[in-house]
Amino acid sequence: MTAPGAPKEAWTRVVQAFVLVALFIVLLAVTRVVPVLSNRAGTISAIGFLLLTGTLASELVEVVGLPHLSGYLLAGVVAGPHALKLIDHRTVEELSTVNALALALIAMEGGAQLRVEALQKGLRSLGWATLTQSTIVLVISGGVFIAARPFIPFLAPLSPLALAGVGLLWGALAVSRSPAATLGILAQTRAAGPVAEGTVTVVMSSNVVVAVLVAAALVLARPMIDPSASLSMREVQRLGYGLLASVAIGTTLGLVLAAYIRLVGKQLILVFVALGFGLTEMLRYMRFDPLLTFMVAGFVVQNLSRQGERLVESIARTGSVVYVVFFATAGAHVDLPLLRDLWPIALLLCAARGGSTWLASRLAARAAGDPPAVKTWGWAGLIAQAGLTLGIMTVVERDFPSFGAGFRALALSTVAINEMVGPVLFKLALDRSGESMKGPEPSLSSLTDNT
């Protein structure tokens, strides 16, 4: 017997599909009939188009059980410069400036989800997860990368020592996660339970771990790849200084934000925009870590004041638009021709990373005595990769021009696969473990009080 609401639900999906197709057809016709408009449409038009199509696509993919993030990514891929070319390369690059605001909000919200009580309760699990993920994933992913040398052209001229150095860089890259995808899936499912809590804690904490790992890998790999270079402790000192400075600035920012929310509490959207764009650029100029800074700020507001819930609610209202554009833009960045050429080796490297992540998660859960759900599904939220990984590959390309372009191209291909598969696996894990809440989604980026 059909439920009373089923016909209405089906009719709603049909209308949504019709509107989505109509939007693509209209813009496709306009850009083909008057091509110059594609260059004059500007960033604002692209944002509006991606926001509409991403939202509609997210509703439609929900029918087959896929997360909303898959809809955002799919809309960007189809509209991007490598598919229908509704949005050109220049516009995609201009849209990337929105990422600064999105990443600031993601980091701040993630930090606000890390409560001291939860960290103390799960300290043993977090310790084991961090240790196993940072070692097993690095070693296995880097080892498979080195073993696949015959199939990776840019590795051919490297000496064995240089090859080991590049493998170390790839292994460090593989440890990186996607806080954006994690928070996006939790926003949709409003999940609460050990899998959701453990994933948020591990993913957000991994930002600090990955920053240290990548910096250490760069210091160690440089003399291995370039015989004229030497191992310098100055880089290690610079790393320590950068981390301490980021924490100090984040603590100060958190205290200022908490005071502002308590005493003023208005126009927070403008405050977030100013911080996301202005402060991010200043931190990058000073070579500090913006993600760590904003994560510490959110943590301070949540744990050293009573303004944590108001902060999360304000970020939710702002992020509901920003996150759609962020993931749609990420989809538009997916280089389909490149992925077509590199997909066999990229798939192998993704499988190695996924398998080592599963193994590390199982070993950590067993050592820490985690609940059965974490032992079974704890790995699924650690597959997605996004913004931080893209930043790492850019640094490698800049510091090692002899092979950097090839390294970045291959990394982009693996990130594209992980970016599409990871959110689906995490949502499946939350659904199967019974942690997803049923009912309408209150907001794109709002989370439950439980973390």
pLDDT tens digits, one per residue of 153-210: 889 899 999 999 999 999 999 999 888 888 888 888 888 899 998 998 898 888 778 8
The overall average pLDDT reported for the chain is: 84
Residue with tokens 């240290």: 212
Lowest mean pLDDT among 137-151, 224-238, 347-361, 426-440: 224-238
- Distance, in Å, from the CA atom of 445 to the CA atom of 113, rounded to the nearest integer, reads 12
pLDDT reading at 266 higher than 60: yes
Q: Quick one: pLDDT at residue 443?
A: 40
From 124, 95, 187, select the one nearest 443 (Cα to Cα): 187
Q: Which of 46-50, 83-87, 178-182, 364-368 has the highest mean pLDDT?
A: 364-368
Q: Residue 142: pLDDT band by 50, 70, 90 thresholds?
A: very high
Lowest mean pLDDT among 114-118, 128-132, 391-395, 420-424: 391-395
Q: Quick one: pLDDT at residue 336?
A: 83
Q: Quick one: pLDDT at residue 313?
A: 86
Lowest mean pLDDT among 110-124, 130-144, 299-313, 351-365: 110-124
- Distance, in Å, from the CA atom of 235 to the CA atom of 161, rounded to the nearest integer, reads 21
Set out the domains of the chain in order of their start, with CATH numbers: 6-95 (no CATH), 98-432 (1.20.1530.20)
Average pLDDT over residues 222-241: 75
Q: Quick one: pLDDT at residue 35?
A: 58
Q: What is the DSSP string of 46-92?
A: HHHHHHHHHHHHHHHHGGGT--HHHHHHHHHHHHSTTTT-SS-HHHH
Q: Quick one: pLDDT at residue 371?
A: 92
Tokens for 391, please give them: 């930043």
- Distance, in Å, from the CA atom of 294 to the CA atom of 250, rounded to the nearest integer, reads 6
Average pLDDT over residues 262-286: 86
With beta carbons less than 8 A apart as the criterion, state whether 331 and 340 touch: no
pLDDT tens digits, one per residue of 347-366: 999 999 999 999 999 999 99
With beta carbons less than 8 A apart as the criterion, state whether 320 and 444 touch: yes
pLDDT reading at 145 higher than 90: yes
Average pLDDT over residues 333-358: 90
Q: Give every CB contact of residue 169 below 8 A, 6+ residues apart in sequence.
A: 217, 218, 221, 396, 407
Average pLDDT over residues 213-225: 85
Residue 1, number of CB atoms within 10 A of its CB: 4
Tokens for 142, please give them: 């880097």
Average pLDDT over residues 102-123: 83
Residue with tokens 């220049």: 90
Average pLDDT over residues 415-429: 91
- Distance, in Å, from the CA atom of 257 to the CA atom of 252, rounded to the nearest integer, reads 9
Q: Residue 345: pLDDT band by 50, 70, 90 thresholds?
A: very high
Q: Give every CB contact of residue 88 below 8 A, 6+ residues apart in sequence.
A: 38, 39, 81
From 407, 431, 417, select the one nearest 155 (Cα to Cα): 407
Tokens for 188, please give them: 């949709």
Q: Identify the helix (H) or strand (E) that includes residue 14.
A: helix 6-33
Q: Quick one: pLDDT at residue 445?
A: 39
Q: Quick one: pLDDT at residue 217?
A: 87
With beta carbons less than 8 A apart as the criterion, state whether 443 and 320 touch: yes
**String of b and e for 80-92 (b: at least 16 CB within 10 Å)?**
bbbeeebbbeebb
Tokens for 78, please give them: 């189809």
pLDDT reading at 2 higher than 70: no
Average pLDDT over residues 223-238: 74
From 332, 249, 376, select the one nearest 73 (Cα to Cα): 332
Q: Quick one: pLDDT at residue 128?
A: 94
Tell me if residue 6 falls in helix, strand or coil. helix
Q: What is the DSSP string of 178-220?
A: -HHHHHHHHHHH---SHHHHHHHHHHHHHHHHHHHHHHHHHHH
Q: Quick one: pLDDT at residue 12?
A: 84
Burial (0-12, 13-18, 19+ Cβ within 10 Å), 401:
exposed
Residue with tokens 């188009």: 49
